């Protein structure tokens, strides 16, 4: 097994993908809208990935946050509110906001589990800061770290109850970034003391089963390497200061932020770079076959420590149950919050 979560080209596995995945045995996969057509097609795709791997607990990831970041959309699937909606409810009724966030996430988890998707890349724990780039924007639970932590916890608990593994992101915090790491390399010049605010939600959810790094430079901690490629940030800030000891994946290797970092534009070098820095898993999302070949060829076998963390993470989710109750609770919570 290689320490990578890989994307796919389209809505079905191609013969060359089957050959590559069978030979490389990636730790898991991530789905995007290009891979999704109908409920039956999607369930067939996730079933085929599990059959190919021989792993009934295979990590199959998706970014289904709600709002503008949603791979599953109408007419086949319902709309879910963006995270900021729960922050707005919090300002009126914090307990109601937490109940609504939990019920919403449980409904999401049940939906995903029913489609064979086992991991949702949610919740974001990025604390809103002045000048925050719109790439985060309404995906944030707001500027108060206690609010972010509380709504993040409710969301994580809801996903677990729905039978889906949650991922906290973007550790150690993307809220101060004024650039979009999909397109550029964000550089945060806040002091270590200022950055303590950003760490609060991650510390409070340090028991989360999975976390995703940020392709952001924090000059107070490492002036040369972004968090995903920084042994200093991963060891000293993420593992020690935050206390996160579960599965750590990089953000997407395909993002342009990494073109300005060691490894440049070579996907294999980017992949080995994040693993060498201390990430357990390299995330490659584009589905570009040549890039996936380069990643697979470059990576060593997954470490025993990373495999243990992966197994522990996949054991974290609850058994999906109570579909009707969860949907009713979500409806009631959101209706009450709107009053």
Among 164, 62, 155, CA closest to 114:
164
pLDDT at 334: 61
- What is residue 196's three-state secondary structure? helix
In angstroms, the CA 217 to CA 188 distance is 6
Which position among 120, 126, 251, 252 bears the catalytic label?
A: 251
| Predicted model pTM | 0.94
* Positions in the chain whose pLDDT score sits under 50: 324, 339
Among 283, 290, 287, CA closest to 8:
287
Q: State yes or no: is 215 an active-site residue.
A: no
In angstroms, the CA 34 to CA 31 distance is 8
Each residue's pLDDT tens digit, 245-258: 999 999 999 999 99
- The Cβ of residue 12 has, within 10 Å, a number of other Cβ atoms equal to 13
In angstroms, the CA 91 to CA 111 distance is 28
Among 306, 253, 318, CA closest to 282:
253
- What is residue 256's three-state secondary structure? helix
pLDDT at 132: 87
Number of H helices, E strands in the chain: 11, 12
Which position among 40, 47, 182, 207 bears the catalytic label?
A: 182
CA distances from 332 to 103, 107, 155, 328 (A): 9, 12, 16, 6
CA distances from 224 to 1, 164, 188, 231 (A): 31, 36, 12, 11
Residue-wise burial string across 66-103, b where 16 or more C-beta atoms lie within 10 A, e elsewhere: beebbbbeeeebeebbbbbbbbebbeeeeebbbbbbbb
- The Cβ of residue 121 has, within 10 Å, a number of other Cβ atoms equal to 23
Phi, psi of 68 (to 5 degrees): -75, -15
- Give, rounded to a whole angstrom, the gap between the first and last alpha carbons of the chain: 51
In angstroms, the CA 193 to CA 108 distance is 36
Domains of the chain, residue spans: 55-268+311-338
Could you tell me which residues come within 8 angstroms of residue 143 by beta carbon, excluding any fewer than 6 positions away?
Answer: 127, 128, 129
CATH of the domain spanning 55-268+311-338:
3.20.20.300
pLDDT at 79: 94
Per the CB < 8 A criterion, the answer to whether 186 and 178 are in contact is yes
């Amino acid at each position: 097994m290689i320490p990578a979560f890989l994307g796919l080209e389209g809505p079905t596995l191609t013969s060359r993908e089957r050959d590559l995945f069978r030979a490389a045995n990636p730790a898991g996969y991530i789905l995007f809208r290009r891979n999704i057509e109908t409920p039956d097609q999607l369930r067939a795709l996730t079933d085929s990935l599990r059959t190919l791997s021989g792993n009934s607990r295979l990590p199959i990831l998706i970014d289904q946050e709600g709002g503008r970041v949603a791979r599953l959309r109408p007419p086949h699937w319902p709309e879910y509110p963006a995270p900021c909606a729960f922050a707005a409810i919090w300002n009126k009724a914090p307990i109601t906001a937490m109940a609504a966030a939990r019920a919403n996430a449980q409904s999401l988890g049940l939906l995903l589990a029913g489609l064979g998707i086992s991991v949702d890349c949610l919740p974001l724990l990025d604390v809103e800061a002045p000048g925050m780039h719109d790439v985060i924007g309404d995906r944030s639970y707001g500027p108060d770290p206690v609010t972010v932590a509380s709504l993040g916890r409710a969301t994580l608990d809801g996903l677990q109850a729905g039978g889906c593994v949650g991922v906290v992101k973007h550790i150690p915090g993307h809220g101060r970034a004024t650039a979009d790491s999909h397109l550029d390399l964000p550089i945060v010049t806040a002091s270590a003391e200022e950055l303590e605010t950003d760490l609060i939600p991650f510390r409070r959810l340090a028991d989360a089963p999975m976390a995703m790094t940020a392709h952001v430079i924090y000059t107070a901690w490492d002036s040369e390497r972004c968090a995903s490629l920084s042994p200093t940030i991963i060891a000293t800030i993420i593992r020690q200061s935050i206390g996160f000891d579960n599965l750590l994946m990089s953000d997407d290797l395909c993002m342009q932020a990494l073109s300005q970092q060691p490894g440049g534009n070579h996907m294999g070098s980017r992949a080995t770079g994040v693993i060498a820095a201390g990430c357990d898993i390299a995330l490659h999302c584009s589905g570009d076959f040549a890039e996936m070949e380069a990643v697979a060829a470059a990576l060593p076998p997954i470490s025993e420590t990373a495999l243990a963390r992966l197994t522990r993470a996949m054991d974290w989710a609850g058994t999906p149950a109570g579909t009707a109750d969860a949907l009713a609770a979500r409806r009631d919570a959101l209706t009450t919050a709107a009053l």
